Each structure stands twice: as C-alpha cells, then as structure tokens.
Amino acid sequence: MTEPATRRREPTTADVARRAGVAKATAARALGGYGSVSPEVRERVTAAAQALGYRPNELARSMGTGRSRTIGLVVGDIENGYFGLATRAISEVAHAAGYEVVLVNTAERHADEADAVRLLLDKRVDGLVVVPAASFDAEHLRAACATGRPVVLLDRRRDDVPALSVSVDVVPAVRELTGALLAAGHRRIAYLTSLEPEFDHPDLELVSSPIADRLLGMRQAFTAAGVPLAPDLALFGAHSPAATAALVDRALEGPDPATAVVSSDAVIALDVLTRLRERGEDLPGRLSFASFDDAPWAPLVDPAVTAVQQPIQQVGAECARLLLEQIRTPGAGPDPGAAPVARSFPARVVHRASIGPGPGARR
C-alpha cells in the first residue's frame, strides 16, 4: 500500500518467496490459490506479499496455463446504442464468470474486422464474439474457428462459417409490421439500410442475414396480401445523414412516390425523421414511418415511432453464455465441418402513432 515510489521493478513471486523464507513454488501456490499450503505458510506468504505490494502478473499466468480469462468482442459500431446494449450484456455475463472483455471497434470495415480478429487471437483470447460486417469474404472467421478457440457470431448469421450464432428473429415481426402498413392502405413502402449498394445482390443472405431477413419478411407480407412488391424501394447506402436525406428524397419524389418509410435501425431513423421534418412532411397524415430498433426516444418524438423491438441484451447475454460454455468444455462447439448452429430471439412490433392511413385505405 504505502510503498516507496522509488521501486522500479515490480515485485514477483520470487521476491515474496525470499521475504517469506519459502520456495518460489510455495509462494506461487499460496498466491495463486492452487495446490496446497499450510495455513501458517500461507499466512507468512500473504503478509510478505502485502508488505511488498505484490500483484500477480496475469500475462505470465496466462502464458503458463494457456488461458487468459479474456474474451474478444469485435463490433462494427459501439456508439450505436443497439450494440452498446449488447456490449453491456456481454460484459456483464463475462465479468460475472471472471472473464474480461477486449473490445475492438471496426467501423464496419471488413479489413479492420479481419485485423481485429487476428490480433485478438494473437493475444490469446479464450474466445471471440464477432458482429460480422457485411462482406463476401469470411476467411478470417473460418481461420478463427480453425484455431479451435470458440467463436460466436452476434446478431448476424453466416452460413459459411462453422460457428454458433445468436441473433434476433425479425421475420414474423417484419411480416406483422408490413402487414399493418398494407392493411392501412400503403402500397409503396420504402426501406432504408446503411448497407452499401454493392450488397444489393441476390446473395444478400450470405452477407447480411438481418437485412435479408427484413426484406424476406416484407416480401412475405406483400405476397400474403396479394400485392406486388416494388423492388425499387429497397434503398441501400444510408450511411450518413446526407446520404440518408438523399435516399429519403429519392423515395418521396418521382412519379410513384413511397407513402411509407421504414428505417433499418435507430441511427437511420433519426436521420430520416430529420429529413422528413425539413421537408415538412405530414406524419402520420400523408406519410407513415416505422423503424427497426426501438430506441428509448422512439415514444417521445412526434409522432411516436412504431418500431420493431429487438431483444439485443438477451442476444448479447446468450452469446456470452454460449461462448463461456464452449470455453469451459472444449469440443462443445460445432464441428469444423458441421452446419453452423443458430439460436435466435423473437422481435416484436411496438405500435405507436407514426403509421397512418395510406392512399389505398377504405374511407
């Protein structure tokens, strides 16, 4: 505690052992809480450690045991509240189990993600939770699985990676939401996602399961209602306020404008609402709006936003639990060749005031 600050080298088990007059291994046993030591020796060692201000070197410990009690978390965008919640949940579960979390933010850049995965593996994390960015290349994830250390995918499935995944099942909720829009008389429903236009591709499912699922649910609802789906209203590239504004303008102008807008997440929702307000659109009178992610502010804006609420904390917590389980029982994960295993939690629609009658409404 009250050490002379003029110490350069930190005390080690050897120092403690010397001071306590025991062998290094004995001191290490007492300090590390393994093996067995007599109460009196333990006492002497503890006292010596205390006097010296000894602190274990976890690096050395990890090197010996091969385990670091650390898990890596690779996320695209930590400042997005959605992933903030997931991070929090994962931290909580990991922490309770005595694990630390190393967080890497990749800004949804594939190259950064690959680097992050590699680096965390090099740092010998015991397992990895990854929110994979949309990309056709998943080599880094397969490589991670090949190390034998457990990997769990959060919020996004990848059929080409032999890892567990935990995500939100949005399809029924999307169907419900879209159904509500259709029932209200809307036919032209725009959907805005931050995914780059290069992913607007038939194999979208490979690359971003959440977006593919949203589109699938919408398509199902249209089919069920016997209404033809307009593919021109799936709008990609809403990655900034300006880009989102431009997409909103595109959706709302032209010969057959959208009468309803759905945003892919709460960040986009904010930009969409801002733009709609700038344009002076009448919500929910002439235009309807809904969003994925039920952000805490959704009930407070005017009109209150109808949203698809996603149990992301549960997803995060389950991810962490599954990861820890695999860490503790090696071989519990999916086989390298086996089909990926997926677990999901259902989303639900929270109906608020932002959906009004569309042009096809009976009056």
Q: 6 to 45, contacts with DNA by CB under 7 A? A: 9-10, 12-14, 22-26, 28-29, 31-32, 34-38, 40-42
Instruction: Kindly indicate which of the ranges 55-63, 194-202, 208-216, 254-262 contains the residues binding a second copy, using the contact rule CB under 8 A.
Output: 55-63
Residue pair 54/78 in contact by the 8 Å Cβ criterion:
no
Angstrom CA distances, 141 to 110, 166, 198, 300, 336, stand at 11, 15, 21, 40, 12
302: left (phi over 0), alpha (psi -120 to 50) or beta: beta
Instruction: Kindly indicate which of the ranges 39-47, 113-121, 250-258, 283-291 contains the residues binding a second copy, using the contact rule CB under 8 A.
Output: 113-121
To a second copy, the closest distance from the beta carbon of 51 in angstroms equals: 15
Strand extents, DSSP E, 131-236:
151-154, 164-169, 189-193, 234-236
SS3 of 71, please? strand
Q: Which does 85 bind (CB under 5 to 8 A by kind): a second copy, DNA, none?
A: a second copy
Tokens, residue 55: 């602190």
Asked if 196 touches a second copy (CB under 8 A), the answer is no
Nearer to DNA, 23 or 361 (CB): 23
Tokens, residue 343: 């677990």
Q: Which does 26 bind (CB under 5 to 8 A by kind): DNA, a second copy, none?
A: DNA
Asked if 286 touches a second copy (CB under 8 A), the answer is no
Q: Which does 216 bind (CB under 5 to 8 A by kind): DNA, a second copy, none?
A: none
Residue pair 198/209 in contact by the 8 Å Cβ criterion:
no
Burial class (CB in 10 A: 0-12, 13-18, 19+), 6: exposed
User: What character string, x for contact with DNA (CB under 7 A) and - otherwise, covers 62-101?
Assistant: -xxx------------------------------------
Nearer to DNA, 64 or 257 (CB): 64
Nearer to a second copy, 3 or 198 (CB): 3
Residue pair 208/249 in contact by the 8 Å Cβ criterion:
no
Closest CA to 298 of 267, 277, 321: 267
State how far the Cα of 261 lies from the Cα of 287, in Å rounded to an integer.
8
Asked if 147 touches DNA (CB under 7 A), the answer is no
Determine the Cα angle at 52 with ends 7 and 31, to 5°: 130
Nearer to DNA, 70 or 87 (CB): 70
DSSP for 183-198, written as a single string = HTT---EEEEE-S-GG
In this chain, which of 23, 302, 328, 332 binds a second copy, going by CB under 8 A?
A: 302
Q: Tell me the sheet residues that pair with 105.
A: 75
Tokens, residue 326: 């695999």
Residue pair 347/311 in contact by the 8 Å Cβ criterion:
yes
Nearer to DNA, 62 or 80 (CB): 62
Asked if 10 touches a second copy (CB under 8 A), the answer is yes
Q: Which does 37 bind (CB under 5 to 8 A by kind): DNA, a second copy, none?
A: DNA
In this chain, which of 70, 135, 263, 326 binds a second copy, going by CB under 8 A?
A: 70
Nearer to DNA, 10 or 256 (CB): 10
Q: Which does 40 bind (CB under 5 to 8 A by kind): a second copy, DNA, none?
A: DNA
Residue pair 4/23 in contact by the 8 Å Cβ criterion:
no
Instruction: Kindly indicate which of the ranges 28-36, 56-64, 207-215, 253-261 contains the residues binding a second copy, using the contact rule CB under 8 A.
Output: 56-64
State how far the Cα of 17 lies from the Cα of 4, in Å rounded to an integer.
20
Q: Is the dihedral of CA 195, 201, 202, 207 positive or negative?
A: negative
Residues that bind DNA (CB under 7 A): 9-10, 12-14, 22-26, 28-29, 31-32, 34-38, 40-42, 54, 56-57, 60-61, 63-65
Residues that bind a second copy (CB under 8 A): 1, 3, 5, 8, 10, 55-60, 62-63, 68, 70, 77-81, 84-85, 87-88, 91-92, 95, 100-105, 118-124, 139, 143, 146-148, 270, 273-274, 277, 295-297, 299-302, 336
